[in-house]
């Protein structure tokens, strides 16, 4: 199997060495926004640097589908539906925070817009040759605001008063037509723990037929702490790799990793109409949500569990032994997943269920006096709260504009 590849980039005077970019990212954690000196921009640089499109074999996948008919819920900081790369793709969503930055403010919808672009961006300009193209450019985005940007002064308040937003958002998305739910967020702090309401919401969404995808976490250099919602049962948890297919050092290594996807030097769109280069498992999660959208578009009868298995079984460059905690089953390949789904027999496409293990579901009829009766259903495992996981480093280019830098907390 070949390693994911990356097209050769043109020489650029405004590009920093990777070590410098990581230093910039660390500094921006405190400054929130900083601008680099102005530099000339080229009209073709954005598309040329979307190495993930080639690495994920989108040209092959798009021969089958580009995601038409599928709705991907983006549970995040909001999505700028007026962005040229997303115009016409963003549905009316839900704001479960209700305060904080608003449209037009700098601390609004930056992370969510970036994720939506990775999933369903369609480019802009003549022939849509400019801007960002997503993995499923004909899919629809359903924005659900469940968290605020790191630079939003109201974020601390939202954490203490809107802790239920993620669980509510998952259920709302499942009830409003989401075929895929992208969770490019999570809590991977030392104090992270499962929350019963969130786990129950994930299981509710899966039962409704929604594929749930989450970022594995960014604590690979800080203890590999378990991240929720990635660790909940049934979730497709996504680790990050670079353009050579190498595990990104920041990407959390844990048992729940399902597959890996691009998470380094990822081009992201921003409400300010500039384009930035980001890193993080948030981006990796969005890429896999786009891959899941392609599979669901072509094979809508597949269950979430079947989609998860397809993506895992067809992943490229599998680690020795078939999987490991760093990269899961390997690098996601939507084209291979689509081909494998096309070879499934009709019986393979029927929903499957595991045997309950008891005669009755629940307590059953009243037992005879000498019977104990079968046990009821076990309570779901608890599950956890969310903070954003994408760290954006060096700004790239807006056609004809200057450069800058920011970090999405």
What structural domains and CATH numbers belong to the chain?
Answer: 18-344+379-406 (3.40.50.200)
In this predicted structure, what is the pLDDT of residue 45? 77
Contact (CB, 8 A) for 270 and 277 = no
Tell me which of 167 and 10 has the higher pLDDT.
167
Task: Confirm whether 111 is a catalytic residue.
Answer: yes
Least confident of 60-64, 136-140, 297-301, 352-356: 352-356
Catalytic residue among 80, 85, 111, 247: 111
Does the structure show a pLDDT above 80 at 231? Answer: yes
Kindly state the percentage of the chain with pLDDT values over 70.
73
- C-alpha–C-alpha distance, residues 52 and 39, integer Å: 25
pLDDT in tens, 180-214: 999 999 998 888 899 999 999 999 999 999 999 99
Predicted model pTM: 0.80
In this predicted structure, what is the pLDDT of residue 350? 57
How do beta strands 387-388 and 257-262 pair? unpaired
Rounded average pLDDT over 241-259: 97
> Two tokens at 24?
């910039």
Residue of 305, 311, 260 whose CA lies nearest to 285: 260
Least confident of 10-24, 185-199, 313-327: 10-24
Contact (CB, 8 A) for 181 and 212 = yes
Residue 344: band (very low, low, confident or very high) from pLDDT cuts 50, 70, 90: confident
Tell me which of 401 and 219 has the higher pLDDT.
219
In this predicted structure, what is the pLDDT of residue 190? 87
In this predicted structure, what is the pLDDT of residue 239? 98
| E strands in 111-226 | 122-124, 130-133, 140-145, 180-183, 185-186, 211-215
In this predicted structure, what is the pLDDT of residue 348? 62
Catalytic residue among 76, 187, 199, 272: 76
- Report helix, strand or coil for 305: helix
Rounded average pLDDT over 32-53: 56
In this predicted structure, what is the pLDDT of residue 349? 59
pLDDT in tens, 18-34: 333 333 233 222 222 22
Least confident of 5-9, 241-245, 358-362: 5-9
Rounded average pLDDT over 93-100: 97
Task: Confirm whether 76 is a catalytic residue.
Answer: yes
Residue of 233, 244, 232, 256 whose CA lies nearest to 325: 256
Catalytic residue among 282, 285, 297, 409: 282
Rounded average pLDDT over 305-319: 97
Q: What is the dihedral of CA 282, 288, 294, 300, to 10 degrees?
A: -100
């Amino acid at each position: 199997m070949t390693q994911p590849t990356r097209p050769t980039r043109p020489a650029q005077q405004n590009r920093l060495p990777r070590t410098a970019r990581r230093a910039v990212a660390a500094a921006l954690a405190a400054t929130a926004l900083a601008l680099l000196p102005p530099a000339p921009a080229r009209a073709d640089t954005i598309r040329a640097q979307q190495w993930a499109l080639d690495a994920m074999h989108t040209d092959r996948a798009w021969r089958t589908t580009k995601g038409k008919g599928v709705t991907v819920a983006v549970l995040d900081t909001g999505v700028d539906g007026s962005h040229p790369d997303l115009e016409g793709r963003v549905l009316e969503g839900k704001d479960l925070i209700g305060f904080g930055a608003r449209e037009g403010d700098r601390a609004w919808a930056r992370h969510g817009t970036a994720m939506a672009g990775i999933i369903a961006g369609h480019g802009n300009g003549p022939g849509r040759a400019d801007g960002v193209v997503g993995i499923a450019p004909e899919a629809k985005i359903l924005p659900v605001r469940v968290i605020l940007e790191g630079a939003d002064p109201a974020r601390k308040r939202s954490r203490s008063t809107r802790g239920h937003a993620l669980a509510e958002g998952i259920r709302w998305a499942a009830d409003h037509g989401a075929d895929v739910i992208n969770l490019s967020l999570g809590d991977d702090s030392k104090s992270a723990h499962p929350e019963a309401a969130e786990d129950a919401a994930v299981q509710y969404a899966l039962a409704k037929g929604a594929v749930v995808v989450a970022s594995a976490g960014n604590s690979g250099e800080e203890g590999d702490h378990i991240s929720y919602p990635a660790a909940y049962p049934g979730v497709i948890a996504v680790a990050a790799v670079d353009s050579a297919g190498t595990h990104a050092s920041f990407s959390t290594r844990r048992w729940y990793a399902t597959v890996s996807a691009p998470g380094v030097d990822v081009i992201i769109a921003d409400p300010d109409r500039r384009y930035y280069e980001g890193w993080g498992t948030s981006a990796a999660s969005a890429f896999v949500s786009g891959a899941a959208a392609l599979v669901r578009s072509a094979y809508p009868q597949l269950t979430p569990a079947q989609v998860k298995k397809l993506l895992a079984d067809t992943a490229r460059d599998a680690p020795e032994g078939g999987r490991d905690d760093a990269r899961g089953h390997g690098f996601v390949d939507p084209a291979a997943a689509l081909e494998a789904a096309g070879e499934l027999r009709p019986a393979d496409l029927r929903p499957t269920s595991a045997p309950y293990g008891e005669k009755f579901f629940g307590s059953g009829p009243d037992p005879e006096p000498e019977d104990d009766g079968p046990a009821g259903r076990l309570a779901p495992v608890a599950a956890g709260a969310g903070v954003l996981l994408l760290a954006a480093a060096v700004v790239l280019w807006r056609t004809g504009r200057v450069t800058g830098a920011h970090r999405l907390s």
